Amino acid sequence: MNITALIPAPDVIPHAHACVREDCRIGDRVLLQNGVVVGSDGFGFAREADGRWHKMRQAGITIIEDDVEIQAHAAIDRATIGETHIGRGTKIDNLVQVGHGCKIGEDTLLCGHTGLAGTTRVGNRCILAGGVGTAGHLTIGDGATLTAKSGVPSDVPPGAVYSGYPAIDNLAWRKSVAVFNRLPELQKELRELREEVARLRSDPR
């Protein structure tokens, strides 16, 4: 990987309004679509005693490896300390937020409106479908798939398919959704059964 800083290699294509901030590094054959921001400050604030927010210095960098494509208006924040790292061959869709200190593996897909809180770890060959959101300080194992709009509060095992909020195994989630869709009917049946039990209890025979 021929890492470059500020002045990209000839085969790096930054389209209009793409921005690579100071000290960040970009590999070969990287495509930055319109409005991409690489290396903006991470969202790091600490509450002071008087309730105000103190901005923490964002002293880290962002590294984008070879063959990465980042679609329009995605933001890849720099790390507070250390680096935010996007692995080789990963593709990032429009309006994706990668928080400070995240590490994304190789050949992973982050689809539109995905948001990763700081220090999230995503493995190789994962798929995070549209609108997925993760809490920080968690790990998504290699080959995992998160279906659209999943909310991830904790680690996801390698190879798993998770759905829903809080995200759980996809098969369990589909069974839960099937039950949820029948709740009005089940409530009606339960009310009728209660009435029948009450009638039987009150029958003197």
* Active site residues per annotation: 100
What the block records as the tokens of 114 is 């995905």
Tell me how far CA of residue 154 lies from CA of 125, 163, 205, in angstroms. 19, 13, 56
Radius of gyration of the chain (CA): 23
